[in-house]
């Protein structure tokens, strides 16, 4: 979590997804169809948001089946999603049980 003064104006921040260190998606928040304040307003109309809630949105171009050749995550891969001035979410892919 960051404070507004740490993040700056919402919009120009780079959004980047890396798979095993390789950039596979990149865009800026101001390229989203619905900006962050609009998403929060909409979601708040039907549910109460609490500290720590995560809002999951769409994704920039460059995902699995739309790539040439297709690219799929597999167990052991590491995926990182970074929003500039906010931080990095890092997860290792594990096999389904």
Domain that holds residue 87: 4-31+60-92
> Does the pLDDT value for residue 19 go beyond 90?
yes
- Asked if residue 9 belongs to a domain, the reply is yes
- Asked if residue 23 belongs to a domain, the reply is yes
Round to whole Å and give the CA distance between 31 and 11: 8
Query: With a threshold of 0.85, does the pTM exceed it?
Result: no
- Asked if residue 71 belongs to a domain, the reply is yes
Q: Return the beta strands (E) in 1-97 as ranges.
A: 14-19, 22-28, 78-83, 87-92
- Asked if residue 55 belongs to a domain, the reply is no
- Asked if residue 46 belongs to a domain, the reply is no
Total number of domains in the chain: 1
Average pLDDT over residues 20-43: 92
> Does the pLDDT value for residue 88 go beyond 80?
yes
- Asked if residue 47 belongs to a domain, the reply is no
pLDDT at res. 10: 81
- Asked if residue 11 belongs to a domain, the reply is yes
The percentage of residues in the chain with a pLDDT greater than 70, rounded to a whole number, is 100
Round to whole Å and give the CA distance between 57 and 67: 20
């Amino acid at each position: 979590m960051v404070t507004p003064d740490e993040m700056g104006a919402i919009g120009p921040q780079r959004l980047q997804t890396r798979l095993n260190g390789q950039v596979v998606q990149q865009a800026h928040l101001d390229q989203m169809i619905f900006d962050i304040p609009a998403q929060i307003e909409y979601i708040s109309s039907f549910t109460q948001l609490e500290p720590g809630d995560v809002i999951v949105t769409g994704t920039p171009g460059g995902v699995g089946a739309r790539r040439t050749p297709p690219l799929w995550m597999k167990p052991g891969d590491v995926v990182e999603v970074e929003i500039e001035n906010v931080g990095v979410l890092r997860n290792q892919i594990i096999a389904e049980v």
